[in-house]
Structure 1
Amino acid sequence: MPHPSELMSDKLQLIQRWQTIAGELQASDVKLLVVSKYAPDEAVETLMQAGQIHFAESRPQNLRDRATRWPECQWHMIGPLQKNKAKYIGRFAAMWHSCDDIDTARAVAAHVSDRTLPVLIQVNIADNPEQRGINPEILTTFAEELSQVDGLQLAGLMAMAPKDGDVRAAFRHLRNLRDQLFDGRFAILCMGMSNDYRIAVQEGSTMVRLGSTVFGTGRSV
């Protein structure tokens, strides 16, 4: 079992990493979404106490549990979503990031009440069928369909960089798609993760999703 002094050191290092990254992103007017899906509750609480509000989960039940436990924070759903888990997102998510299927969107909307749930369309900018997201060629049509679903609000676009290839060009493509779709109106552009977020910021990202960069690769409490 770790010594109390080691636990305190881990906590201080976590806070220092978060402060450095948060400050860097704030200077660029970019929102930090902390990916907490693998982090223990103690580490999440440490960041909450430091001032972090926005967290991301990829398992609907975990999002429900943490949103219920810490309703003062905003819990974002990332990752693929099965329709039988739609109720957790409709009821508890602050934002849904991975919308790429209209039937699933309608299933989520059926569980949204007394509010409007912001939604990001996930676009496949990697030209890789193994990665999720809609084809950019059908983005306009998909966005029009999504905009007709009561209870959901199209808030912007999200994408993951290609595993191989030109990351900067892919991010630039998504930014252009956002600009064309929203015709100059503000919309969220969520792109950039731990290994490429600085490139994403340079290419116009308004929100990045960071996990290991914040929590570290070792123990975090």
Structure 2
Amino acid sequence: MSSALADRLADVDARIADAARAAGRDLAGITRIVVTKFHPASLVRDLHALGVRDVGENRQQELTAKRDELASLPDLRWHFIGQAQTNKARAVRAAADVVHSVDRSRIADALDAVGSGDPLDVLLQVNLTDDTGRGGVAPAEVEALAAHVAGLASLRVRGVMAVAPLDEDPAHAFERLRRSADVVRTVVPEATWISAGMTGDFPEAIAMGATHLRIGSAITGPRPVRG
């Protein structure tokens, strides 16, 4: 295992603790998800040895392959954070413990239709930009989506997720996300999760109430070059 990986993880965790302290937040209420996109399963194994229990993937095929390869690792929680497609709902549901990217009723219905056993934890992805082509439900429509998903027997609405726009102060964007989170809680009072904040903006996300951070390269290092 690379000592550099341990050093990067420790550095990010220290910065998370500093941001939580500055915001008057309890560190126990913040979950750090390490995004391992394009990295080999061996990196996840190394992270697990360092105490990491929450990892995130953007692509269903990669999520499925890594979960299968690392099935023997105890207490590992897999977060699907990429754009969900209805034709991959069964595979996503089979591999993910949490889906962060439910942004329309069709994908919620598809995930529900293949459900059995315990409910699947899902977050509603909110679009914080003016580009309707970006993933996420419009803030004005988040209440209706929350009501729809809450009515599906095999899904459990946990909260909201968003990515801050590149051309805006992330604090302002995350403040809008927090308002969407408040709206969702009027429908599902226990939906207290806010998935926000990545390598470049997680302190601002923590200040605005984020409970789940999605951090990649600051911990994993540069992504391997894809052929």
Same fold by TM-score greater than 0.5: yes
- Whole-Å separation in 2 of the counterparts to 1:36 and 1:156: 23
Where in structure 1 are there 5+ consecutive unaligned residues?
1-7
Query: After the TM superposition, which residues 108-127 of structure 1 pair with which residues of structure 2 at under 5 Å, given as runs?
Result: 108-127=111-130
Which stretch shows the higher mean deviation, 63-72 or 106-115?
Answer: 63-72
Offset of residue 131 of structure 1: 2.1
Secondary structure, aligned partner of 1:181: helix
- Give the number of equivalent residue pairs: 210
Secondary structure, aligned partner of 2:117: coil
Contact kept? 2:165, 2:173, Cα under 8 Å: yes
- Whole-Å separation in 2 of the counterparts to 1:24 and 1:88: 35
- Residue in 2 aligned with 1:163? 166
Contact kept? 2:125, 2:161, Cα under 8 Å: yes
Contact kept? 1:76, 1:95, Cα under 8 Å: yes
Where in structure 2 are there 5+ consecutive unaligned residues?
21-26
Query: After the TM superposition, which residues 24-35 of structure 1 pair with which residues of structure 2 at under 5 Å, given as runs?
Result: 24-25=15-16, 28=20, 29=27, 30-35=30-35
Offset of residue 185 of structure 1: 4.5
Per-residue CA deviations over 1:100-137 (Å, capped at 9, x if unaligned) read 12111111122221111000000011222242100000
Counterparts in 2 of 1:218 and 1:179: CA distance versus 1, 3 Å: closer
- Whole-Å separation in 1 of the counterparts to 2:142 and 2:48: 36
Percent identity of equivalent pairs: 30
Query: After the TM superposition, which residues 167-182 of structure 1 pair with which residues of structure 2 at under 5 Å, given as runs?
Result: 167-182=170-185
**2:44 paired with 1:39:** no
**2:126 paired with 1:135:** no
Aligned amino acid, residue 16 of structure 1: D
Query: After the TM superposition, which residues 2-41 of structure 1 pair with which residues of structure 2 at under 5 Å, given as runs?
Result: 11-25=2-16, 28=20, 29=27, 30-41=30-41
- Aligned-CA RMSD value: 1.8
Structure 2 residue aligned with 1:99, among 102, 115, 122? 102
Contact kept? 1:122, 1:133, Cα under 8 Å: yes
TM-score normalised over the length of structure 2: 0.86
Offset of residue 179 of structure 1: 2.1
Aligned amino acid, residue 152 of structure 2: V
- Whole-Å separation in 2 of the counterparts to 1:59 and 1:142: 24
Counterparts in 2 of 1:40 and 1:125: CA distance versus 1, 3 Å: same
- Residue in 2 aligned with 1:70? 70
